């Protein structure tokens, strides 16, 4: 079999891991040739970053609009939809808080990666007051946010546009179909760009290793440990108590029933692909199939607490590496964007990296830092997926009990 065909059979995440390892090896071997690396290797990484920046604005806009218009049936489902969205928002807010607190408390103890000072951008809005920053969320021009890459304003435009489509109803069906089609096109473009990810990550990460040496491995291990620690704490402090107190169900029994779904989620890295297992598991807990299908399907689309934690941990860690002191306003920006990303991240390879690029650029973290954590994305993604599946299933159990209680009282 030709080499090109063999390479095509290797999954993208495996290609990224291979590129990650090769970048570390090359960086160690080229320690004394930094000028060569910066002149002939780093530019190709910059091209990959530019392509990611190019797709971010349309990706964010369309992903969020599609997420909003996909909930058009919530009105007919009434309280089920209301309970589901409230629970998802509640757990996501707690996830972002946890994802900011833990790395902030531990950053003084972490082995940091040295980022060349010349590459560190000036943080956006560092001197703004909280009120000024909130005012800056709202655009006064529908085009300028895209031209200037002001992503918070793009997000606001997406929310307003999506809500308007839902409220117009049947008359907006052509617009809704157009948005869905455009979203498919943009996600296809993202797939094209992500085909270059192994080359881009190799060319971005090699200069980082040249500047840091093998020392970078300890830092990446610390990021993985922090992320999984946050996942575990979030599950123990938020999900399991909610199952006990709100769902009136044994947390241990819940984990036992969910075991097949969790194993599949860990190995597949896809909460969508895990849906059949999750639905069957919640049915074994006494849940109705229609309620479980709705809650779990919606959760697989808009409830990704693991993404929120991952983005927060990565942002705080890389800001520390770059010597950026995060202000309260910047923490608010990270929390807001991480929350939106947990709702709008598309379920395709590279979706979280695109949102990470957006987040880093806004806060003033060099976008080259995306390459540093991209190589361990697969390892963290397994934990992210498991946590998302646990969160969705916990919501299904809780909503089932609330709906049943309301029916009895009626």
| pLDDT given for residue 235 in this prediction | 94
Domain residue limits, the chain = 3-409
Degrees to nearest 5, angle at CA 110 with 391 and 98: 25
Say how many Å lie between the first and final Cα of the chain, rounded.
67
Q: Is the confidence at residue 6, as pLDDT, over 60?
A: no
| pLDDT given for residue 132 in this prediction | 66
Name the pLDDT band for 98 (thresholds 50, 70, 90): very high
Q: Which of 60-74, 180-194, 274-288, 343-357 has the lowest mean pLDDT?
A: 343-357
Average pLDDT over residues 184-193: 85
Q: Is the confidence at residue 222, as pLDDT, over 80?
A: yes
Answer yes or no: are the C-beta atoms of 184 and 342 closer than 8 Å: no
Phi-psi group of 324: left, alpha or beta (phi > 0 → left; psi -120 to 50 → alpha; rest → beta) = beta
| pLDDT given for residue 96 in this prediction | 93
| pLDDT given for residue 374 in this prediction | 76
Q: Which of 114-118, 318-322, 339-343, 374-378 has the lowest mean pLDDT?
A: 114-118
d(CA 315, CA 364): 10
- CB neighbour burial string for 143-152, b if at least 16 within 10 angstroms, e if fewer: eebbeeebbb
Q: Is 40 exposed, middle or buried (0-12, 13-18, 19+ CB in 10 A)?
A: exposed
Answer yes or no: are the C-beta atoms of 88 and 390 closer than 8 Å: no
Nearest partner of 157 among 173, 169, 144, 139, judged by Cα: 139
Helix (H, G, I), strand (E, B) or coil at 10: coil
Name the pLDDT band for 130 (thresholds 50, 70, 90): low
pLDDT tens for 367-395 read: 778 877 777 776 787 788 888 899 999 99
Q: Is the confidence at residue 247, as pLDDT, over 70?
A: yes
Answer yes or no: are the C-beta atoms of 193 and 10 closer than 8 Å: no
Q: Is 101 exposed, middle or buried (0-12, 13-18, 19+ CB in 10 A)?
A: middle
d(CA 35, CA 44): 15
| pLDDT given for residue 126 in this prediction | 45
Average pLDDT over residues 233-247: 94
Q: Which of 125-139, 223-237, 293-307, 356-370 has the lowest mean pLDDT?
A: 125-139
pLDDT tens for 345-365 read: 655 545 577 778 878 877 778
> Which residue's entry shows tokens 């990296």?
353
Mean pLDDT over all residues of the chain?
79
Q: Is the confidence at residue 55, as pLDDT, over 60?
A: yes
| pLDDT given for residue 298 in this prediction | 72
Between 112 and 234, residue with greater pLDDT:
234
Between 349 and 342, residue with greater pLDDT:
342
Q: May I ask the CATH architecture of the domain 3-409?
A: Orthogonal Bundle (1.10)
Q: Is the confidence at residue 104, as pLDDT, over 50?
A: yes
Average pLDDT over residues 191-196: 84
| pLDDT given for residue 254 in this prediction | 93
Name the pLDDT band for 124 (thresholds 50, 70, 90): very low
Average pLDDT over residues 216-230: 84
Q: Is the confidence at residue 60, as pLDDT, over 60?
A: yes
Contact residues for 376 (Cβ-Cβ < 8 A; gap 6+): 20, 220, 223, 224
């Amino acid at each position: 079999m030709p080499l090109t065909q063999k390479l095509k059979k290797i999954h993208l995440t495996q290609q990224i891991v291979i590129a990650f390892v090769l970048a570390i090896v090359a960086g160690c071997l080229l320690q004394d040739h930094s000028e060569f690396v910066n002149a002939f290797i780093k530019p190709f990484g910059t091209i990959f970053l530019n392509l990611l920046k190019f797709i971010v604005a349309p990706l964010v806009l369309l992903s969020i609009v599609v997420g909003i218009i996909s909930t058009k049936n919530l009105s007919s489902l009434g309280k089920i939809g209301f309970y589901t969205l409230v629970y998802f928002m509640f757990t996501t807010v707690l996830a972002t808080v946890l994802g900011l607190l833990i790395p902030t408390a531990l950053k003084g103890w972490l082995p940091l990666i040295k980022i060349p000072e010349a590459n560190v951008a000036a943080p956006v809005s560092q001197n703004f007051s909280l009120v000024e920053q909130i005012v800056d969320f709202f655009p006064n021009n529908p085009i300028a946010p895209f031209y200037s890459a002001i992503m918070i304003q793009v997000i606001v435009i997406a929310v307003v546009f999506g809500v308007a489509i839902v409220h117009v109803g049947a008359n907006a069906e052509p617009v809704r179909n157009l948005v869905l089609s455009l979203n498919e096109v943009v996600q296809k473009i993202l797939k094209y760009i992500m085909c270059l990810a192994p080359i881009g990550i190799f060319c971005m990460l090699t200069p980082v290793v040249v500047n840091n040496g093998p020392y970078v491995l300890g830092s990446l291990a610390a990021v993985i440990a922090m992320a999984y620690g946050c996942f575990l704490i979030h599950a123990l402090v938020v999900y399991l108590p909610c199952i006990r107190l709100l769902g009136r169900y044994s947390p241990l029994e819940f984990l036992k029933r969910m075991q097949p779904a969790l194993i599949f989620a860990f190995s597949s890295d896809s909460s969508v692909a895990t849906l059949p297992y999750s639905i069957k598991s919640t049915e074994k807990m006494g849940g109705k199939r229609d309620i479980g299908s709705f809650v779990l399907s919606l959760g697989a689309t808009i409830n990704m607490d693991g993404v929120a934690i991952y983005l927060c941990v990565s942002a705080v860690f890389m800001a520390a590496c770059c010597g950026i002191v995060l202000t309260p306003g910047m923490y608010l920006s990270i929390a807001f964007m991480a929350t939106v990303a947990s709702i709008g991240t598309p379920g395709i390879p590279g979706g979280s990296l695109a949102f990470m690029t957006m987040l880093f650029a806004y806060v003033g973290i060099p976008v080259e830092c995306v390459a540093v954590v991209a190589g361990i994305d697969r390892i963290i993604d397994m934990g992210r997926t498991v946590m998302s599946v646990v969160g969705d299933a916990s919501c299904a159990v809780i909503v089932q009990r609330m709906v049943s209680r309301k029916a009895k009282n009626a």
